[in-house]
Chain A
Amino acid sequence: MSRYCLFFISFWLLGSFSYSQKKLASLSGKVVQNDGNPVPGVTLLLEGTSIGAVADIEGTYEIVGIAPGTYTIAISGIGYKKTFRRVDLPSSLQVKLNIVLEVQAKELDELVVYGKSEATEMREKAYAIQVVEAKEFKNISTDVNQILNKVSGVNIRQDGGLGSAFSLSLNGLTGNQVKTFIDGIPMDYFGSSLTLNNFPANIISGIEIYKGVVPIHLSSDALGGAINIITDKRPMSYIDASYSHGSFNTHRGAINGQLYNKKSGATFRLKSFYNYSDNDYKIDVNLLDVETGKLSDETTEVRRFHDSYESRMVWMEGGITHKRFADELMVGIMYSDNFNDLQQPPQALGTTAIPLGEVIQEEAKWITNLSYQKKGLIGGKMNVSSFLVYVNSQFNLKDTSSHRYDWMGNREENVHTTTGEVERKTLFQLDRSNLLGNINTEYEILPNHNVSANLSFNSMTLEGTDELHAQKNTQFSKPSTVNKSVAGLAYTTKLLSSKLHTTVFGKWYQFGLNTTETDYSGTEEIDFTSNASELGYGFASTYFVRPGFQLKASFESAYRFPETEELFGNGISILPNIFLEPEKSKNYNLGLRYNFKPTKNNNLQTDINLFLRDSEDFMRTETVGVRSTFENQASVLATGVDMNIQYMLKNNLRFSLNGTYQDLRNNGKWVKGREGSQPDPFYEDRIPNQPYLFGNLAASYNFSEVFSADDNFSISAIQNYVHEFFFNWPSLANSSTKAVIPTQFTSDLELVYTKNNGKYNLSFTAANILNERVFDNLNQQKPGRSFAIKARIFLTQNLN
C-alpha cells in the first residue's frame, strides 16, 4: 500500500506544475439568446480537441490554454440550435467572441452534458448509460432513491420510511453488485450517513446509470453496473435552500451553496442537509395476547413508535476552480451522523409480534477530501483527475434493554434481565478508517483515438469492542484490514465519420483481507487471511445508424470482492461470513435507442436494453429466522430486458412507461460442496426474494405562464408496479404454503409550481395516494398514504 501512497504524493506535488507553459491563446465572450438574454450552461468546444468551456450563469465563458491556430467552435445547449463558429487564434492573443443562439423546441433525447470534455463525453457514450437530469426532480420532495426508482431497469426496495434500509437492483444485479459513486468517489465509504436514501435531490445535477459495464474511471469492483451521482459544479455563486415537511413528522432541510470568484477562481462550496422523521406510520398488526401466546385473528391499526431517524451532514470544500492550472483543486471536510431507532429485527420476515422499543444504531463520520481536475493539458490532449479521501467513522449498536414492549407502545419492565430485545445483549462499537485514492488520466493520441488509465486503492481498517457480547468482541478486538486496488486501462476510438464509438478496456483487481475467525462463545481466535488478484476486461460500442437511431453493445468480465457488511455483518441481524469468495460475472448488453419525431410537436422516444449476466459465486443473502448471512451462489444466469417509452406532445404533455423483466436463475448443477455427487434440486429455479417484473407509468402535464410570464406549473401522476415474488426458492414446498411478497401497486401525485424561472419553487407530493398496503422484501409493511410539501429557493449572483 505504501508504494501507492508514495505515488500519490509525488503525483500531487507534480500535478500543479505539469500544465503546458507555451504561449497560448485564449477565447472568451458571452452567449446570448436571440432576445439578448444570457444563456447559461452552454457547452463550447474546439472541434478536434478536447478543450472547451461551459458558459456561467451570466452566459460568459472563457477558454484558456489554446494552442495557436484556426478552430471551429461547436456551441451547444439544451433547447438551442447547435451552432458552429470559425475563429482564428494567433499566439498569445485574447480573442473576444460573443455568440447568439437560436432557441429550438426543447429536445430531451440527447444526453445531458455536464461540461465534460469531448473526450469524456465520447468515452461515456459507448456505454449502456442512461442519464437522469435532476432538474425535473429537484423541486419535489425526493431523495435520489425516488428518482432512480423511475428509471427503467432500476428497482429500489426500501424497508420502511426515511432512513430505513434499502437495496437497489439494476438489470438483474442487486445491492453491492451495483456500485454507487458521488462524483466518482465510491459512496459506500460515506456509510449510512450518506446514502441514496437520504441524499437530497437539490445537491445533484444529474445521475449517470451504467448498465452492465462500468467505465474504468469509476474505479471500483462493481459486478455489473454503476450509478454516478454528479453534484452541481457550475462556475457561479449560488445558494440553494429547501425545506420540506411531510407526514410522519418528517422534516428535511438542505442548504447548498457556492461562492465563486471568477478572477481568482477561488471557490467555496457548502453542502448540508438535515433529515428527521418519526416514521410513525400506521401498520396493521395481529396483536399478541402475551398470556395465551395467541395472535388475534383480526388486525389492528397501530402506529410504529420506535422508528425515528435523524441524519445530518455538512460538507465544506474550498479551493480554486476554472483556472489554467486546475479546473478544480479543492480540499474539503465533511461531518455526518445519523441516528436510527429499530422497531423490529431488520431481517425478520413480516411484522414481529413483540416489537423492539429501545434498540438503536448510530453512526458518525469525519471525511476529509482532496480533489484535483484539469482538462486540456499538453495542448488540450490530456485530462487528469484525482482524489484522495480519508474516512473515519464510528458505528454504535445498542441492545441492552430488559423491558418488553407491545405494539400499543406499552412497556413491561425487567422481563428479560440478562438478554436484550433481539438476542444476547450487545453494546457494539466499531471504528472504521478508510484511505481511498484515485488517479485518472485521459490522453488523445490522435484525433478520434483516446487512451485512459486509472489507478485506485482503498485501504480499510476495522476495530471494535462489545463489552456485553463475547463473539463480537473477539471478532473485532484485533484490527481487521481490507485492501483493494484496481488499475484500469482503456482505449477509445471513433470510426466511420464518428458514427461508431468503441471503447476497449482491461482492469486489474487486487484484494487482501486480514481478520479473525471466532465462535459463539468468543473463545476461539484464529487469524484468517485471504488474498486474490483478478483480471477483468470488456468493451463498449455504439453505432449511430442515423440521427435519432442508436445501437449499443457492450461486454464486461467483471469481479467484485465482498464488502464490509457482507464480510462482517451489521452487528445485529446480518451475521459475518469472512469466507466469502469474490463474485465474477460476464455481462452482455445490447441496446437500442430510437427517437421518432413525425411532426414538430410529437416526439416518441424508445430505449430497449437486453442483458445477460453469467455470474459465478454470486453473493446473496440467505435468511433463516431473524438472521441472515451473505452466501455465494455457485452459478447464476440472469437474462432480461428493460424498456422505456416516452411520448411528448408539444412541451406540455408527457407520458412515459418503463418496465423491466429480469429472469435470474440458479445455474449451478450441483449442491455446493457436493459437486459430482448430488445434483442441485434448485437448478434453473428462480433466485428467491428478487423482484423479476416491475415498472412504472407516469403522466405529466406542464403549464407555463399560469399567473405570470415567468412561472410554471406541472402536475404528474406516477404509478409503480412490482409483481409478487417468493421469499424462498420457488420450487420449495407446496406453493400455497409459501411466503410471498405480494404485488405492489402504488400511485403518487406530484404538483410543482415555480416562479421567476426557477428562483422560487413550491411542490406538493402525495405518495401512495390510494393508501395501498405494500410490503418490502421481508414482508414488513411500508407506509401508506403520505403527503409532503417542499419549498425551495435558488438564488444566483455573479460576484464579478
Chain B
Amino acid sequence: MNSRITKVLTISCITLFLTCIIGCGDDDEQQPFIGTTGDVQFVLGVEATSGADVLLPVNNLMEGIISPLGSGFEQPAWMSYINAGNTLITSGYATDNTLTGYRLVNGTLTNIGSLITELQTYNYVDVDDNTLLAVGVTRAGFEERIIYTIDKNDMSIRSRARTRIDERKEDGLVAWPTDLIVKGNKLFMSYYLLGAGEDDGVPAFATPNSNEARIAIYSYPELEFEKIITDNRTSDIGNYLSFTSLQEDEMGDIYSFSTSSLASGFTPTPTNPSGFLRIKNGATDFDDSYFFNFETASGGYKVNNAVYAGNGKAVVRMVKDDSGLWATYDPDAENPICSIAIADLYNQTVTKVTEVPLHGGEWGMAHLIHDGKVYINVSDVNGAFIYEVDPGTASAKKGAQLEGNWTKGILALKK
C-alpha cells in the first residue's frame, strides 16, 4: 500500500512539473507601434465598407484608389476627425469617450497619446498650438455640459468649465452645441434646442422651438458664461455634428449658417428661411444689417453645411428636396439629395458647382482647404470620391476613389 501512495505522489509531481514545462512558454512580445513612413502630407479618416474606421495617411487626393486595407491606423469605433493645427485628433465613443492625438514625428504619423472624458465630446475648436477646446454633452436629460480645455502636447485635460448653456425644462428642451469659435477673449458657442427626451410631449431630438439663431458667449480663457444672443430672421445655427457652423473670415467677422431643414435633422421644420448671419469683428451681437437669405438667392435650396474658403466664398452643401427627416445623414444614399454650390457671403449670390453630382450627405462636412482649393467627400451608394472644388471659378474636379463607404475627415499635417 505504501508503495502505491509513493507512486501516486511521484506521478502527481511529474504531472505538475510537465504542466509547468509545457505552460511556461515565453509570452508574445508586443510589436512596436509603427505608422506609415514616407512622404505623408494628407491624412484621411475613412469608413471602410465593413463600417469600421481607419485613419489613413495618403499622398495623393486626386488620383487612383485610396484604400484602408493594409495601411493606416485601425480605429476603435465610429470616430470624428478633428483638424487641430499641428495635431490631428480622433474622437469617439469606444470603450470610453476617448480623444487621441496624432502628429508627424520624423515624417511618420504617430499616436502621441489619448485622454478620456467623462462626457462624450461633439464640438471642438483649435485655439492655439497648445490648446483645444471640446464640449461634452449627454445625449439625454438635463445635465451640465462640460467645456474641456485640452493640452494638445500631452493630450490631457487642463481644466473643465461646467455650463448648462440654455436649458428649458418647462419646454423639455436642452441645448446641443453645434460649433465653437474663440475670438480674442471670447468663446462663441452656437447651439440648437432639442428635446431632452424627458418630456412625453417633446421626444428626444425634436426641435419645436428652432425659429431663432442662438449663440452663447463665454469669456476666454476663464470660460465664464456671459450671455446668449439670438436672431429671429433664420433658424437655429448648425446641425447635429456640424463642425463648421461658425467661421471667421479674413476681416475677423464671424459667419454662421442656419439650415431650417428637416433633412438636416430639424423636426418640425423651422419656418424661417435658411441662411447666413454675421457677427462683426469685435461685436458680441448679430449684425442687424446682414442676413443672407440662402433660400431666395439659390432658388429654393437650403444650406446643409458650409465651409468658408476665403475671399468671402463658402463651399455649401445644400438640399432642395427637404422631405425626409435626417435625409442628409446618409453617405451611402440610394437616392442622394445633396449638391454643392459656392456662396458669396459678401455679395449674397449662389453659384451651383455642376461638376459635382447629387450625392449623400454626412455627419458634418469633411473638408480640407489647401492651396486655395477645397477637397470634399462626395459619396453615395455607388461609391465615394474626393472632389477638388475651386471656389473662385465655382467648378470641381473628380479626384481619387475611396475603397470604402465615405471619407469622414480630410486633413493635412505640416512636416
The chain A residues found within 8 Å of chain B, CB to CB, are 288, 290-295, 345, 348-354, 404, 415-419, 423-425, 470, 520-523, 622, 624-626, 671, 673-674, 677-678, 680-682, 697, 699, 701, 703, 705-707, 713, 715-717, 719, 724, 728-729, 731-739, 742-743, 745-747, 749, 751, 769-770, 772
Contact = CB atoms under 8 A, between A and B. Distances in A.
Nearest to A673: B381
Given A470-B203, A673-B332, A674-B382, 16 more contacts: A419-B138, A419-B143, A470-B204, A521-B197, A622-B51, A673-B381, A674-B381, A677-B381, A681-B404, A701-B11, A715-B15, A717-B15, A732-B68, A733-B54, A743-B28, A749-B19
A352 B96 contact: yes
A135 B92 CA distance: 51
Nearest to B148: A293
B65 to A, nearest CB: 10
B381 A417 contact: no
Contacts of B154: 294
15 contacts: A345-B95, A349-B76, A354-B116, A416-B119, A417-B142, A418-B143, A424-B141, A521-B195, A523-B206, A673-B332, A674-B381, A713-B8, A715-B8, A724-B28, A734-B73
Interface string B184-218: 00000000000111100001111000000000000
B19 A719 contact: yes
Interface in B24-66: 24-25, 28, 31-36, 48-52, 54, 56
A317 to B, nearest CB: 41
A707 B7 CA distance: 12
B382 A419 contact: no
Nearest to A728: B52
B49 A681 contact: yes
Interface size class of B (residues with CB under 8 A): 35 or more
Contacts of B116: 288, 293-295, 353-354
Given A295-B114, A734-B73, A701 B20 contact: no
B140 interface: yes
B5 interface: yes
A113 B258 CA distance: 76
CB-CB nearest 6 A-B residue pairs: A418-B141, A293-B115, A521-B203, A625-B77, A733-B74, A521-B204
Contacts of A354: 96, 116, 118
B92 A625 contact: yes
Nearest to B94: A625
B67 interface: yes
Contacts of A290: 118
A423 B116 CA distance: 16
Given A352-B95, A681-B69, A749-B16, A404 B118 contact: yes
A745 B23 contact: yes
A734 B5 CA distance: 57
Contact residues of A: prevailing secondary structure: loop
A416 B118 CA distance: 9
Contacts of B205: 520-521
A574 to B, nearest CB: 16
Contacts of B329: none
Contacts of B20: 747, 770
B140 A736 contact: no
Nearest to A293: B115
Contacts of B140: 418-419, 423-425
Contacts of B18: 699, 717
A349 B94 contact: yes
B204 A747 contact: no
Given A522-B203, A732-B52, A736-B34, A350 B95 contact: yes
Contacts of B28: 724, 742-743
A734 B23 contact: no
A682 B115 contact: no
B291 interface: no
B313 to A, nearest CB: 33
Contacts of A680: 49
A522 B54 CA distance: 32
A732 B196 CA distance: 38
Nearest to A743: B28
Contact of A734 (B72, B96, B117, B383): B72
B156 interface: yes
A502 B82 CA distance: 64
B298 to A, nearest CB: 30
Given A699-B15, A747-B19, A624 B51 contact: yes
Nearest to A402: B143
Contacts of B290: none
Contacts of A746: 23
Given A738-B74, A749-B15, A626 B332 contact: no
Contacts of A291: 157
A732 B93 CA distance: 20
A292 B70 contact: no
A680 B11 CA distance: 56
Contacts of B11: 701, 703, 715
B260 to A, nearest CB: 20
B176 to A, nearest CB: 13
A772 B155 CA distance: 32
A732 B48 contact: yes
Contacts of B382: 674, 677-678
Given A715-B12, A742-B28, A769 B23 contact: yes
Interface string B260-279: 00000000000000000000
B231 to A, nearest CB: 27
Contacts of A715: 8, 11-12, 15
Contacts of A747: 19-20, 22-23
A716 to B, nearest CB: 8
A269 B24 CA distance: 47
Nearest to A677: B382
Given A290-B118, A418-B143, A703 B73 contact: no
Nearest to A680: B49
A719 B139 CA distance: 47
A622 B77 CA distance: 11
Contacts of B113: 294
Contacts of B94: 348-349, 625-626
Contacts of A707: 1, 5
A523 B203 contact: yes
Contacts of B22: 697, 719, 747
B153 interface: no
Nearest to A768: B23
Most chain A Cβ neighbours within 10 Å, of B19, B142, B196: B19
B377 to A, nearest CB: 16
Nearest to B67: A681
A145 to B, nearest CB: 21
A98 B15 CA distance: 45
B19 A769 contact: yes
Given A470-B197, A731-B69, A625 B138 contact: no
Contact of B19 (A352, A706, A717): A717
B115 A706 contact: no
A624 B70 CA distance: 20
A622 B23 CA distance: 33
Contacts of B206: 521, 523
A553 to B, nearest CB: 36
A293 B92 contact: no
A745 B21 CA distance: 13
Nearest to B24: A770
Contact of B70 (A419, A731, A745, A772): A731
A733 B71 contact: yes
A353 B71 CA distance: 28
B171 interface: no
B157 A415 contact: no
B66 to A, nearest CB: 11
A425 B138 CA distance: 11
Given A290-B118, A294-B115, A626 B23 contact: no
Contacts of A749: 15-16, 19
Contacts of B383: 677-678
Nearest to B140: A424
